[in-house]
Amino acid sequence: MKIAIAADHAGLPLKAEVAKVLTNLGHEVLDLGAHEYDAQDDYPDFARYVGNTIQHQQAERGVIVCGSGVGASVAANKMKGVRAAVCHDVYSAHQGVEHDDMNVLCLGARILGVEPAREVVAAFAGASFTGEERHRRRLEKVLAIEAAN
């Protein structure tokens, strides 16, 4: 699977670990930056980069890393077709994909250590939407809200 990753200055070190995990799992990683530390960069820019790749089907999923993960999630969810969530545990990371067809994982580098982050990323990347009737029904309602706005 092709997975786009991006991070602001706060998430830069953890982004490198995310890339390693995904590559080791056999995924193709599209690194959208940041590529060097810049204390003045802003998480919405990186959320947009990842969201654009999802919208243009240049990647199937994305991972955005910022300080808490919250800002990246808020920004990414403003984009049509993006279903992003902050997940700092394995269960939420796979369940978000399985039940909600989440396509962008947001991580907080100031919240989550490297080892737990590796496990969360692996759970996200390894999960698939179940397509169960109740999950499809709920997803259709979410997509209807998106279409109405």
The answer to whether the CB of 45 falls within 8 A of the CB of 76 is no
Distance CA 125, CA 45 (A): 23
H or E element: which one contains 50? helix 43-55
The answer to whether the CB of 109 falls within 8 A of the CB of 48 is no
Marked catalytic residue, from 56, 88, 94, 99: 99
Question: Does residue 94 have an active-site annotation?
Answer: no
Separation in Å, CA 38 to CA 42, 75, 95, 101, 115: 9, 19, 34, 33, 25
Question: Does residue 87 have an active-site annotation?
Answer: no
Marked catalytic residue, from 27, 66, 94, 106: 66
Catalytic residue annotation: 66, 99
